[in-house]
Structure 1
Amino acid sequence: MIAPRTAPVITLTLNPAIDETIELDALAPGTVHRARGVVFHAGGKGVNVASCLADWGGIPVIAAGLLGRANEAPFVRLFAAKAIRDECIRVPGETRTNVKLAHAGETTDINLPGLEVTASSLRAVSALLLRLAVPGAVVLLAGSLPAGVDAGFYAELATALAARGARVLLDSSGPPLARALAGAAPPWCIKPNRAELEALAGRRLADAASLRDAARGLVGRGVALVAVSLGAEGALFVTGRGCLRAALPPMRVASTVGAGDAMVAGIIAGMHAAAGLERIARLGTAFAAAKLRAPGANLPGRDAVEALARAVVVEHEGVGAA
């Protein structure tokens, strides 16, 4: 199904976070550090994707999920500043804060526990998504599940959303991803990294051929598009019609935080425009590269991203339309 241009993109974040990024010259465990600066960003995978899509423009974006009422302000500001429709359900307590130590182009993450989620909150979220997901909508189910939530939650939601005529992207890992792949309606797209694909395959994937074979195995299980992020090596994009690898030359890195989320946003931007696989791969790679140049889930102007998309090196292998 091709999403009409007026259909919204809906992102779900059940385990959002306020990202506290501390800039260091170097990181040496067991020693005292003097920070060069600190910034705070409303985050969580779905929130990051919504932010990047809003920067790209031309796509109606809805952010759904759960937010702690006690510290919702950073999210409210972000949604207002970027004209993202706020459909997040407020619950008692505080959204978690994740600490990110940025040093020498790398990031060390310290993720804190999230909100305690009740069964009634989960029912409310499910009902909300099913109401918002008109036929043709693209729905992203993103991130880890809060503690205590059954690992099959995404699988059940993906099946219900597919019945509504939505295309579901799932960006998660571990049991929630495995359960969704075994569900009645697997996600339309997933974006594992190498380690996550190895976990799904149950073996080490040491070369390009083994990566392709593992991704094709998931396509054979009903996933329309498998995008495997490979860090500095680029990404592999696999459908039932073919496979390609996309990458950009090495570049200056300001922060790797959210690069994977930016790639998801680029994939969604391509899907929303009914693009073919090469355009989706170029946008996914360009969004991720653009994100590397600045902290926070923000993109530069569309012209800058399009320039990166044109510079992406694509290696084809029997590629057809997405």
Structure 2
Amino acid sequence: MSRSAPKSAAMTSIVTVTLNPAIDQTVTLDALRPGHVHRARSVRSDAGGKGVNVASCLADWGLKVSVTGILGSDNAVPFEALFARKGVDDRFAWIPGETRTNLKLFDAATKDTTDINLPGLAATPGALATVQAVLRQVGTEGSLVVLAGSLPGVLGVDTYATMTRSLKALGIRVVLDVSGPPLSAALASDVLPDVIKPNRQELADWAGRPLDTLADVVATARGLILRGIPLVVVSMGADGALFVTRDEALLAHPPPTQVTSTVGAGDALVAGLVAGLHAGLPLAETARLALAFAAGKLTQPGPNLPSRGTILAIVETVRVEELDAVPDILPSTSS
């Protein structure tokens, strides 16, 4: 296929990048009371990290997806098992050492999760070069590459900005889900991603001011659109998510959901967003699918989706409103 020929959705590859993955150990408590001794209801461990979680949900949806990033070889079993079980194409760079374990305390009374994230592996320049080589190998024009999650401390804050520049030069579409200095560096670059998905607090941190009203969030998102990002998605927890392009601004409302675990809910939203982009859906349908992925994941432990039929049923319950039809004030929640 020539570089000028369009690619069909069926031929478009999807790759997720997780440079600082983790084994997520989720402890379920009756109620979290700081300073007190607790007895856990249950404990489970899942191979995780934002890109791994996105890939896991995409595989549940039935899409072929490759994963790459940097993993420790000393505790590889949970990742190998996940990729084998879901048919995910493993292209990780494996280095000596242990992938970090993140502790997640789930309060069954409030449905809140408290995260305790540990430092990552000491990534080597060689490992990052391997990841970049994988992306050149599996990514073709029109591919979707998801750059997601924190960076191990040894990598510079401009790592994602540099990767975005390289990927865009190959005609690859970049979906960026990062926060803090790496997000600032990526947005300060002369080559911008195709999609960003901050939550409201992450967007406010980047903007350097509170975003307490819907108008504040939309204005900030539109400012990024004017700078050259085609799609800005802002997740807002129980308040849903904003989907903003140059021509549209939509607010998608999540349906009522019985929460089993919040771990990976934001990553499931990204997976639904990518699935919509991969299928070439209109923005409103992409928004419904993204919210349905997130709602479906909330009913499952770990980064998993219910059946495809269940997700499609949830899609029908997601309400999407055009900007002018929604109220101006939102409470301060993030996802």
What is the TM-score of this pair, normalised by structure 1?
Answer: 0.96
- Return 46-55 or 24-33, whichever deviates more: 24-33
- What does residue 26 of structure 2 align with? 21
- 1:66 pairs with one of 60, 70, 83: 70
- One-letter amino acid matched to 1:102: F
Where in structure 2 are the equivalents of 1:83-102 lying within 5 Å?
83-102=87-106
Instruction: Name the SS of the counterpart of 1:20 in structure 2.
Output: strand
Which 4+ stretches in 1 moved above 6 angstroms? Answer: none
- For structure 1, the residue ranges without an aligned partner over 5 or more in a row are none
Quick check: 1:137 aligned with 2:143?
Answer: yes
| Aligned 8 A contact 2:197 2:235 in 1 | yes
- 1:177 pairs with one of 176, 180, 183: 183
Q: 1: CA distance between counterparts of 2:64 and 2:254?
A: 29
- What does residue 114 of structure 2 align with? 108
Quick check: 1:153 aligned with 2:195?
Answer: no
- What does residue 322 of structure 2 align with? 316
Quick check: 1:8 aligned with 2:23?
Answer: no
Q: 1: CA distance between counterparts of 2:211 and 2:256?
A: 23
Cα RMSD for the two superposed structures: 1.4
Instruction: Name the SS of the counterpart of 1:315 in structure 2.
Output: strand
- 1:81 pairs with one of 71, 85, 88: 85
- TM-superposed CA distance for 1:157, in Å, is 0.5
Instruction: Name the SS of the counterpart of 2:91 in structure 1.
Output: strand
- TM-superposed CA distance for 1:249, in Å, is 3.5
| Aligned 8 A contact 2:255 2:295 in 1 | no
Q: 2: CA distance between counterparts of 1:88 and 1:124?
A: 8
- What does residue 267 of structure 1 align with? 273
Per-residue CA distance 1:123-182 (angstroms, 9 max, x = gap): 221122122211111000010010121111100110110111110001000111111112
| Aligned 8 A contact 2:255 2:314 in 1 | no
- 1:232 pairs with one of 218, 238, 251: 238
Quick check: 1:123 aligned with 2:129?
Answer: yes
| Aligned 8 A contact 2:94 2:127 in 1 | no
- One-letter amino acid matched to 1:44: G
Instruction: Name the SS of the counterpart of 1:5 in structure 2.
Output: helix
Q: 1: CA distance between counterparts of 2:8 and 2:202?
A: 28
Instruction: Name the SS of the counterpart of 1:220 in structure 2.
Output: helix
- One-letter amino acid matched to 1:64: T
| Aligned 8 A contact 1:11 1:63 in 2 | yes
What is the TM-score of this pair, normalised by structure 2?
Answer: 0.92
- What does residue 3 of structure 2 align with? none
Q: What percentage of residue pairs aligned between the two structures are identical? A: 53
- One-letter amino acid matched to 2:68: A
- Return 117-126 or 232-241, whichever deviates more: 117-126
- What does residue 42 of structure 1 align with? 47
Q: 1: CA distance between counterparts of 2:43 and 2:275?
A: 31
Q: 2: CA distance between counterparts of 1:230 and 1:148?
A: 31
Matched length = 318
